[in-house]
Structure 1
Amino acid sequence: MAETKAEMLEEVSESAIPGMVKKLRESFRSGKTREKSFRIQQLKNLLRMLDEKEDEITEAGHRDLRKKKQDMVFNEFLNTKGEIIDAINNLDEWMKPEHVKKDLANIINTLCIQRDPLGVVCVFSAWNYPVVLLLQPLAGAIAAGNTVLLKPSDLAIHTSNVMMKLIPQYLDKDCYMVAGGGVPLCQAVLKERFDHIIYTGSSGVGKIIMRAAAEHLTPVTLELGGKNPCVVDSSANIKVAGKRIAWGKYVNCGQTCLAPDYILCNQSIRDELVTSIKTAVKQFYGENPKESKDYSRMINARQFDRVHALLDGSGNVVLGGKSESDRDDLYIAPTIITDVKPDDTIMQDEIFGPILPIICIDNIDDAIDLINDGEKPLSLCAFTSDKSVKEKLTTRTSSGAISFNDVIVHFAVRTLPFGGVGHSGQGAYHGKFTFDTFSHKKAYYSTFTGITEPLMKIRYPPFTDGNIKTGKKLLVPKVKEGSSFLTYILLTCLAVAVIAIVLQFQ
């Protein structure tokens, strides 16, 4: 079906990209983004945009994914606002030099780490959560003092268009720009040199971005997907587990990178777990989820066809299925499939849709082996009250994050990093982690040229055995064999004495 004019993606000309990046670099070099007052004002403007344009932005999200306003506010706006306010409240502390531990050779020197903005950074966001995945990294990049080129997903057409319109109204036009457009525009953007690129999306596109970044030795943060396992142990509260799994799996029609991709459980609790998930689906979306205003849709026909095809030939459908799907409405019902085997088609790639396979395992060791046979997931969740199970999963598996007795919600915890490992990504952000991602940790060293010069003669030629002996005492620490209070007192007295001598020569 042809798009109407109102549904067309607003695009920036590919030829305009070099000029945009040039202007962003000039703005960065002017130094204005380094000023704390400027950063805070821009963050406040971004917060004001979310307050004043909430209806307009949520309407765009509804048109893209059939998301209800309350859904977007809860799952995108609240996290984004929290991130912005966190940066405003803590920016002074984040920007302070971080003083580091000194050895004897540097006892009177000034040693610290300064966090410098990187420069011009690029944010590629995903279509499944088009507000939070665009604006959370933006907030951190602003807080860190960078200029930013934003590339919203072209699949979330209406949200991309509204960001193209609103960002220039609220933020400095020379420091923060939005480049709406499709694949050709992305290719044009990736030809440019940035100081950092952050991308949220598929592993396939992540590889393309990483290859392009390598041409300029540009560092990247990649938040990718993966087959996130959900282990349900026999010690778990099955009723609560079913409700939380159903929420995490079917929110946004399963199009969530952190959603449980499949369940591993023992045959003895499988039926009880299935019943619990079914009950939760009915509570959330009614007898017919298609009629629920709280149930989203697939983003487009291509994604519908991809996920719908996974319903062929795997296991036993006990909820939903192909018969309850509607391509014209981009609707795939909440689906559960039992009797799935690890080598089934549905287990080969991330589902990214509302289909939940269940694989039965004999014990936790079998679950761990199956998890480790695949790529490292973005998230691993498990429902259990058994401490030994928690210990085994934590120490014997690798994932971007691990959650016990809940799903997804660690994304909203700003004091925890959000990031993948291996195939599911690299780097992390959220809260101060975003600020650090977009900052360079610059070593700062300052010493004296008077009183310290006699101490420095050991480094000058001609070298002698005495130089080496003194150097070892000053530069090579001893292996600790338990703390000594007397040693601590002596070193403290020595430090005070040296500082007092230095002050006399000032």
Structure 2
Amino acid sequence: MHNQNSLALAGLMREYFDRGQTLEPGRRAAALRRLRRELIAREAELCEAVSADFGRGAFDTVTCELMQVREEIDTALRNLARWAAPQKAEGGLWNFPSCAAVCPQPRGVVLILSPWNYPILLALAPLVGAVAAGNCVLLRPSQRTANTARAIEGLLRASFPAGWAAAVLGGHAVSDRLLTGRFDLIFFTGSALVGRRVMRAAAEQLTPVVLELGGKSPCIVDETAEIESAARRIVWGKFLNAGQTCVAPDYLLVQRPVADRLAEALCREIGRMGYGRPGALPRIITEEHTRRIAELIAGERVIAGGGVFPRERRMEPTILYPVSPDAPCMREEIFGPVLPVLVCDTLDEAVALIRSRERPLALYHFSRDPTRIRRVLRETSAGGGCVNDVILHAASAGLPFGGVGMSGMGRYHGKASFDLFSNPRGLLLKPARLELPLRYPPHGAWKERAVSVFFRRGADG
């Protein structure tokens, strides 16, 4: 479905939602089971589509995308009845006698604008939460991965009625057209630049917005770290998907006593993992993006890789060491297979550099000292992260995922997704006759004394 019909489809979804077709939790669960079944049946088709778009192998597509979507579905199916049930709350002394509850309700019709780098996961993971919460979903996959977008459109067509969930294909013109429509929530994953455009458009209709952005996620390796293990995990996480991962470690901050050892270990791990072979990494998404990354490494000291092939959209896994905090590669998110290594004399210096910059989507710390770990967690702010590993916090349906400050707003995955796409309707239930008459005028001296007692009650506790 293309540009001219996109808003018409949104209108169809509004009618579908208004008829109450998504309200019954049992129907939501049945829809999620259909999606799960189709996802498994179309494994090969989806892997081939991603490979056609930017050359990523099936292993990474299954482990980094399909398995995670399935985990989101399975988590929702296990917990949906409990999540959707009213939750008892305190009514408060002033409301005595009463009962209070929080009743989750779907928001309505939501728009998901998904990116190209993990085109299945970042389209379907939020969609699962939205469907579990009882919403209708209009999804616009990125056209930079056009083959995958078409495969997702077919997947949704086989899994849902058109009024419940569907994909619309097209580029920026389709997105701009959709942003003029009325939605009950917009979920956007992408760059901060485009995120600002989405927020400006949403402000016209006061539509709430969730932004999953990115930024320069730091990785500290202090002098107590297990160097060989740190190098192996950092190389895996950094060069996964050719570095085109929003939570990839963007740069390393390494204490001087272990800096040379770590640099050498990083180079060894690139060889051991076979990343040095031609075509070992997926392609960079565009030739323009490849040239941009090449400009970021110009003039830097390269200790591994450095080869750039713009026409083929390929780049060797590259390590820069040592790098200045003022280098061009430290001024913007790299989003490619380049890892700058900065040397710090103290942990204070590393923390100060992180605090001087925008709060990142993720922060990683390799250390064997619990005191140092607690200190970094206490003195820094980030959307999420790992201790002694990278990226894997984003793979858990049990952990809320999202950014802070310039790296985004809003959290999803698992229960956080259900909450995000729900309106937590607060409800107070009172008996028809029994009540305290204290609140009604006229208010004499005895009532003033009574409310003063209520006010002071428990003040010292």
Q: Does 1:378 align with 2:361?
A: yes
Deviation at 1:477, TM superposition (A): 4.6
For the 8 Å contact 2:106–2:134, the answer to whether it is kept is yes
User: What is the CA–CA distance in structure 1 between the aligned matches of 2:157 and 2:23, rounded to whole Å?
Assistant: 20
Which residue is 2:277 aligned to? 289
- What amino acid is aligned across from residue 108 of structure 2 in structure 1? G
Which residue is 2:199 aligned to? 210
For the 8 Å contact 1:105–1:475, the answer to whether it is kept is no
Which residue is 2:110 aligned to? 121
User: What is the CA–CA distance in structure 2 between the aligned matches of 1:438 and 1:361, rounded to whole Å?
Assistant: 42
The C-alpha deviation readout for 1:445-479, integer Å capped at 9, x for no partner, is 11112222xx1x21111112222322344466513
In structure 2, the gaps of 5 or more residues are: none
Which residue is 2:64 aligned to? 75
Which residue is 1:235 aligned to? 224
Which residue is 1:307 aligned to? 293
User: What is the CA–CA distance in structure 2 between the aligned matches of 1:130 and 1:476, rounded to whole Å?
Assistant: 57
Which residue is 2:154 aligned to? 165
Which residue is 2:142 aligned to? 153
**Which aligned pairs between 1:56-455 and structure 2 lie closer than 5 A?**
56-285=45-274, 288-292=276-280, 295-314=281-300, 316-321=301-306, 324-452=307-435, 455=436
The C-alpha deviation readout for 1:409-451, integer Å capped at 9, x for no partner, is 0011222110000000001100000000000011111111222
Find the residue that maps to 1:64 and give its secondary structure: helix
For the 8 Å contact 1:418–1:428, the answer to whether it is kept is yes
Find the residue that maps to 1:381 and give its secondary structure: strand
User: What is the CA–CA distance in structure 2 between the aligned matches of 1:181 and 1:472, rounded to whole Å?
Assistant: 63
Task: Please give the root-mean-square deviation of Cα atoms over the aligned residues, in Å.
Answer: 1.3
Which residue is 1:7 aligned to? none
Find the residue that maps to 1:197 and give its secondary structure: strand
For the 8 Å contact 2:39–2:155, the answer to whether it is kept is no
For the 8 Å contact 1:130–1:152, the answer to whether it is kept is yes
- What amino acid is aligned across from residue 341 of structure 1 in structure 2? S
Find the residue that maps to 1:177 and give its secondary structure: strand
For the 8 Å contact 1:137–1:434, the answer to whether it is kept is yes
For the 8 Å contact 2:290–2:308, the answer to whether it is kept is no
TM-score normalised by the chain length of structure 1: 0.89
For the 8 Å contact 2:97–2:434, the answer to whether it is kept is no
The C-alpha deviation readout for 1:228-283, integer Å capped at 9, x for no partner, is 00000000000000000000100000000000000001222111111211222112
User: What is the CA–CA distance in structure 1 between the aligned matches of 2:35 and 2:305, rounded to whole Å?
Assistant: 41
Which residue is 2:445 aligned to? 465
**Which aligned pairs between 1:2-81 and structure 2 lie closer than 5 A?**
12-81=1-70
For the 8 Å contact 1:24–1:147, the answer to whether it is kept is yes
C-alpha spacing 1:105/1:58, structure 2 compared with 1 (3 Å): same
User: What is the CA–CA distance in structure 2 between the aligned matches of 1:474 and 1:27, rounded to whole Å?
Assistant: 48
For the 8 Å contact 1:67–1:296, the answer to whether it is kept is yes
User: What is the CA–CA distance in structure 1 between the aligned matches of 2:179 and 2:195, rounded to whole Å?
Assistant: 12
Q: Compare CA radii of gyration and give the structure with the larger one.
A: 1
For the 8 Å contact 2:104–2:424, the answer to whether it is kept is yes
For the 8 Å contact 1:42–1:172, the answer to whether it is kept is no
For the 8 Å contact 2:385–2:391, the answer to whether it is kept is no
Find the residue that maps to 1:385 and give its secondary structure: coil
User: What is the CA–CA distance in structure 1 between the aligned matches of 2:134 and 2:389, rounded to whole Å?
Assistant: 35
Deviation at 1:291, TM superposition (A): 4.3
For the 8 Å contact 1:116–1:144, the answer to whether it is kept is yes
User: What is the CA–CA distance in structure 1 between the aligned matches of 2:126 and 2:456, rounded to whole Å?
Assistant: 41
C-alpha spacing 1:48/1:282, structure 2 compared with 1 (3 Å): same
For the 8 Å contact 2:123–2:139, the answer to whether it is kept is yes
Deviation at 1:306, TM superposition (A): 1.3
Find the residue that maps to 1:272 and give its secondary structure: helix
- What amino acid is aligned across from residue 434 of structure 1 in structure 2? S
- What amino acid is aligned across from residue 312 of structure 1 in structure 2? A
Find the residue that maps to 2:129 and give its secondary structure: helix
Deviation at 1:70, TM superposition (A): 1.2
The C-alpha deviation readout for 1:389-428, integer Å capped at 9, x for no partner, is 2122111111101321010000112221100000000011
Deviation at 1:368, TM superposition (A): 0.9
For the 8 Å contact 1:382–1:404, the answer to whether it is kept is yes
The C-alpha deviation readout for 1:62-103, integer Å capped at 9, x for no partner, is 111211111100111111000001101100000111111343
Find the residue that maps to 2:383 and give its secondary structure: coil
- Percent same amino acid among aligned pairs? 37
- What amino acid is aligned across from residue 311 of structure 1 in structure 2? I
C-alpha spacing 1:62/1:420, structure 2 compared with 1 (3 Å): same
User: What is the CA–CA distance in structure 1 between the aligned matches of 2:77 and 2:191, rounded to whole Å?
Assistant: 31
2:459 maps to which of 479, 486, 498: 479
C-alpha spacing 1:285/1:465, structure 2 compared with 1 (3 Å): farther
May I ask how many residue pairs the two structures share in their alignment? 461
TM-score normalised by the chain length of structure 2: 0.97
- What amino acid is aligned across from residue 302 of structure 1 in structure 2? E
- What amino acid is aligned across from residue 242 of structure 1 in structure 2? A
For the 8 Å contact 1:103–1:475, the answer to whether it is kept is no
Which residue is 1:500 aligned to? none
Find the residue that maps to 2:278 and give its secondary structure: helix
User: What is the CA–CA distance in structure 2 between the aligned matches of 1:124 and 1:291, rounded to whole Å?
Assistant: 30
C-alpha spacing 1:476/1:449, structure 2 compared with 1 (3 Å): farther
